[in-house]
A and B are shown apart, each in its own frame.
Chain A
Amino acid sequence: DAGVTQSPTHLIKTRGQQVTLRCSPKSGHDTVSWYQQALGQGPQFIFQYYEEEERQRGNFPDRFSGHQFPNYSSELNVNALLLGDSALYLCASSLVGQGSQPQHFGDGTRLSIL
């Protein structure tokens, strides 16, 4: 049973650049959420996708955008990168309508901004 997979595992970018991170949800899951985890902090909710639409959004600027594909996989795009965007980006999957159920996480993409 394939769990949540994310790519790439590490990425180094410079300020002002753009980045795309990818996520494949756990088999059978249809909802994907993205989180930003700064060093020493808990995950912060960025947004959630279901049926190829953004359903919920946390307190992140519109430099952060996403996409979900018909096969439920998802991308996170960040434009005009800032030093403060350096973090671990986590993808989590779940089933729609089961918002109180645990989310399953991938191992994340570690993004470093120089």
Chain B
Amino acid sequence: QKEVEQDPGPLSVPEGAIVSLNCTYSNSAFQYFMWYRQYSRKGPELLMYTYSSGNKEDGRFTAQVDKSSKYISLFIRDSQPSDSATYLCAIPGNQFYFGTGTSLTVIP
């Protein structure tokens, strides 16, 4: 079983839509959870960083952690064409574990 699982998509939505991106993880000891955004031909850049369960909001982005279900989500409100990228969930453990990434396209 992989440490982190992520639906690879691809996901295509119209501009202004609400986007939901999700990951599941296997180790209940994980405490920190991150979302990275990766544009084409670029390295991943940190988008959201959360600790334990609950929600964290930053502008149009909300990260949600449900430790009881071992499920993490990233919501994007009022999606923009500039949000078109690959979104990676990441969890630090013995090493950094990444999901496969979800490719998102926001259509104007």
Interface residues of A (CB under 8 A from B): 4, 33, 35, 40-45, 48, 56, 58, 90, 92, 99-108, 110
Contact = CB atoms under 8 A, between A and B. Distances in A.
Contacts of A105: 36, 43-45
Nearest to A45: B95
Contact of A102 (B42, B49, B94, B99): B49
Contacts of A56: 94-95
A42 B86 CA distance: 10
B94 A42 contact: no
B96 A33 contact: yes
Contact of A45 (B32, B34, B96, B100): B96
- What's the dominant secondary structure at chain B's contact region? strand
Tier of interface size on chain B: 20 to 34
A100 B32 contact: yes
B60 interface: no
A102 B98 contact: no
Interface string B84-106: 00001000101111111100000
